[in-house]
Structure 1
């Protein structure tokens, strides 16, 4: 199979919805005809791996795609990153003694190119306190076993992150172990001890257990013994659980984990599990599960988020679950345990506002605890914040509905109950009446659901349904609800757009080598126009240092605080894209928000997210060449 087919398969594996051949061709710079040909070849080799319809193409079998991409004979790595990964796998994961001349020959590169790759490899190994050494022209990687395991974990994660680290994709890297049995051992013991672990953490733990078992099988176990104060570091029941897991691993696989292995895995397990009885907020009070330190940290986060973003994190369910998460997170920080989140980019790119709030919270934790949270940890915070924010958003965005249904035995009550259950996240029932004559008594409603004709037609949308509401009627009601919600956002944003953008603050095709030059240029423009103070630029760089503000093809740099003299949005449009850390962005929206305009901050994020979720809209905006053209198109997209 050719590399281009792999690239098409990789692209499809990163999509969550249908994509057209045109969209794939634009993303990968192939012709539409070639894209369709590659997909046909893939389906021929692997029947029904990719579904096709009028909507385009959709990957059907992620597990199979993971195996194809991770085991493919695309033989020889074609870039530096691939070659370094190849060398690490050979020297550590396969434990080979590798002759450097043979290494160059296997990679189809010259000895000089190999020397350059080894130089880059040494830099990579330095991140894990490992070193590359050669003696008699034989290459090896030396360092502690713990650091080698960290490097292997990092390598596997980077290769499998597009598949959310499912068991099948991990299995490719540990072919000598049956990870289904490993998973069964872990989950069975945790269930018996009534411990809860979320799916992401479970995959992470299985990966580390698998790596430890493989290294032990090769005679490279941790030689460290348990520290004397182990009971002060790890709860005794966690050590007991890990010892039970080690005993079953010995029974099933004939692999013996050393006391050092058990200690390392116990530390990781302690930072990821929660007693199941603590997950119920109705039975558990906050004081039962957290220390005063965490209680103070949560109060600090609540106060700062309320002051900065104007919404409350004051929900008992949220506070309890987030407190338990913070407790485990602080354990990970204390013991330098890195927890991967395979959905990091998905969370960041699909929920930019929620992610931004999470970056803000991470900065609070960083300053309070004197640490630096990774973007993976920030994404875990986003999962917690996202649930709460979406609940609040759903309540705010609910549509007021008036139901007209003549009373007949209990039929009308059953219908109202059914409507309420199906659309509980989207509507508030303003009233239930039996005659159209009673409509005049109600004012706060946005559309009407009726089982009888209403004449004359009301000024709001009307859906007439039978008493026995069917799927077609549910679809019609859903369509009206979505239409009303979009109209609400449109009305809200149309007025705001007129005073957010200024002709002197929209730039086209500026030549920025990286995000640093772009931020400097745009912040200086805002300062020259009198919208911000001189320290605005440094505040943006401070925010960027924690996590990039790039979301797929756009960037929205802004400071944590709403510190502008006057609200404005500077824009820079780049059809060819500019480098923004690990992204290539086509549009930059620099947000300068005044304190009094704080409530519109979330609306801006929501609006921009809506635009970038549709490639057609993004492409149209990137194609504009003047202020008026850009603004007219932006307003038309609301």
Structure 2
């Protein structure tokens, strides 16, 4: 918890400036003032206080050495017993509370929870507000009974999905080590469940991914624990009929029959249906080796037509040229069937790669959002972040495949230091870029004017060339450093123009004082509208896009943008902040509002490539955040792009 971090710093320093304390803990000075008040409430009972000193900072004053040292000992013992709570503050407390409440059927008193967490009752009440929000995403709620306490209330199947997420799938790490999960059933029984599933899916030639297999083992383990506690799922008679008619129900029946031989309980019919639902919710291919014609035979006609519409819409809005990619079409069809099954039965699916997908494949993620919009319009199903991330992976694969299958870029090497150096550079380029780069030859600078350059995409030169050429020139070191490789990679990916082409002087706002996400979006959108560069409800569309999935992806960066294009040309409106703000759980200090041109004639992939080269570069982002003038900002950007 942060108040303990403040106490540790004060014990070590005795006195510290509020600004230094805020920087050390990466929060605002206002937050520090609030935390100090809470810390003082704790210290008042243990012979100490934190005194604010005007213009100087904070000082720790100890009135009762014995009482204070007793507190420090208690905290040390507590930290040894529950280190992950202290390490991760409020987020970890929320996880602890949900886990605690999921694993008990009785009511738990608030005072007991506050004592377990070593927080005040008011802090606990604030934590429970967040816990209620998190539980609501599973369709669960907190039931409060006077003089008894609280407990989780909701549908049994949804409770199990929440148990899966918070007991098994969320990893708490301290010092690189994973914390043990509370045991729901014995390891021997877990292993037995895994063996039974493997034997049955092999018999039926069903192929599951490792993640899908692990999820199935976990959900059957949870079912075993809940059945022993006489807590069962329920389905409407009509639902049961539909589930029993599926081939997955037959497989589930066989799994249960094998499990009952060793487990100390039987499985009611509804629990067999529960296992069948989980089989329906994973991507399965009957028979491991199937050709394209066979796969097409098992694709549902409605899903095929939905996929065609999705790929067409993606191409209309993002010009990715993927609508004729047969491999993508089949992969999408096979993926969508279990997605729709999961939504039909209210199943959840976590995506551990979500942040990485957003950060490294933002264009693919935008395509995933378009896919989700089509599904919403056609089927009235809301697809959330985790599922969009999995859809984006298939589009990302298609994008990478296009790179590999694309025509290689043609270049010529200009080297002033002789044939040996030119050959060294030639083979180095071959080893790094392979078939993506065709080197048509090497030459000296003085011969360059005599050569036709029309058939080339760019020149790679070890000497700077000042005179204008009809094609781009890339200046590199003979020994090809990492920055040289990045420059060539950009050229191969057709990012020929520098980042400064997308910025406008009147749309760069540095060192702004803005308090929250909404304020920042309103400020930037208003400035863009004032500049007359968009036609349409920009702010409303940006807020709608943020509601689908937040555009903050780490490194203090957010890239908000509208759901649809409103601009005559593609540009970035950039705003840096004096202090980081919270953007749906991530700190943000660099905001780049992205406006795309309506006609979609340009290569958005190249633009995103340029943008990501900047925004994934931690040192560069921090340099840009510190800039105070437009000239300084452009110089830093130009130097690094």
**What TM-score do you get using the length of structure 2 for normalisation?**
0.71
1:458-473 equivalences in 2 (<5 Å): none
Following superposition, the deviation at residue 531 of structure 1 comes to: 0.4
Q: Tell me whether 1:155 sits opposite 2:187 in the alignment.
A: no
Task: Name the CA distance, whole Å, in 2 between partners of 1:395 and 1:479.
Answer: 25
- Match in the other structure for 1:145: 156
The structural deviation recorded for 1:529 is: 1.0
Superposition map of 1:408-557 within 5 A: 426-427=436-437, 444=456, 484-488=488-492, 492-494=496-498, 497-498=500-501, 500-552=502-554, 553-557=556-560
- Separation (CA, whole Å) in 1 of partners of 2:24 and 2:212: 32
The equivalent residue for 1:408 is none
Post-superposition shift, 1:583? 1.9
Q: 1:597 to 1:151 in 2, by over 3 A?
A: closer
From 293, 302, 305, the counterpart of 2:302: 293
Cα separation, 1, equivalents of 2:212 and 2:613: 31
Give 1:570 deviation, angstroms. Answer: 0.9
**SS of equivalent to 2:220:** helix
1:119 and 1:444 map into 2 onto residues whose CA distance is 62
The question of whether the paired residues in 1 share the 8 Å contact of 2:494 and 2:606 is answered with no
Which residue does 2:143 correspond to in 1? 132
Q: Is the 8 A contact 1:539 1:559 kept in 2?
A: yes
User: 5 Å matches for 1:205-244?
Assistant: 205-217=216-228, 219-222=229-232, 224=234, 227=237, 230-244=240-254
What's the counterpart of residue 567 of structure 1? Answer: 570
Q: Report the Cα offset of residue 485 of structure 1.
A: 2.2
**SS of the residue 1:560 aligns to:** coil
Residue 320 of structure 2, aligned match among 308, 311, 321: 311
Is this contact kept in 1: 2:167–2:181, CA < 8 A?
no
1:390 aligns with 2:392: no
From 570, 576, 587, the equivalent of 2:579 is: 576
Q: CA offset at residue 346 of structure 1?
A: 1.9
In structure 2, the gaps of 5 or more residues are 6-21, 28-78, 414-428, 442-450, 461-472
Q: What is the alpha-carbon distance in structure 2 between the residues aligned to residue 480 and residue 278 of structure 1?
A: 44
Distance 1:632 1:547 in 2: 33
Instruction: Report 1:394-405 matches (<5 A).
Output: 394-396=404-406, 398-400=408-410
TM-score normalized by the length of structure 1: 0.72
**1:380-411 per-position Cα deviation (integer Å, ceiling 9, x unaligned):** 101111100111133448444899xxxxxxxx
Secondary structure (helix, strand or coil) at the match of 1:257 reads coil
Structure 1 distance, partners of 2:280, 2:222, is 18
Where structure 1 has 5 or more consecutive residues not aligned to the other structure, the ranges are 5-24, 31-69, 404-418, 432-439, 449-458, 465-474
Residue 567 to residue 253, structure 1, CA distance change in 2 (3 Å): same
Map 1:318-397 → 2, pairs under 5 A:
318-396=328-406
> How far apart are 1:349 and its partner, in Å?
1.9
SS of residue in 2 equivalent to 1:293: helix
2:208 pairs with one of 183, 190, 197: 197
1:572-610: CA deviation from partner (whole Å, max 9, x where unpaired): 012522222222212111122223464243222111211
Conserved 8 A contact 2:372-2:388: yes
CA RMSD of aligned residues (A): 4.4
Q: Does the 8 Å CA contact 1:513/1:578 hold for their aligned counterparts? A: yes
User: In the alignment, what sits opposite 1:270?
Assistant: 280
Q: Distance in 1 between matches of 2:148 and 2:394?
A: 52
Q: Is the 8 A contact 2:207 2:288 kept in 1?
A: no
The aligned counterpart of 1:620 is 623
1:532 aligned counterpart, secondary structure: coil
- Equivalent residue for 2:613? 610
- Is contact 2:565-2:597 (8 Å) kept? yes
1:240: Cα distance to partner? 1.6
Distance 1:104 1:462 in 2: 61
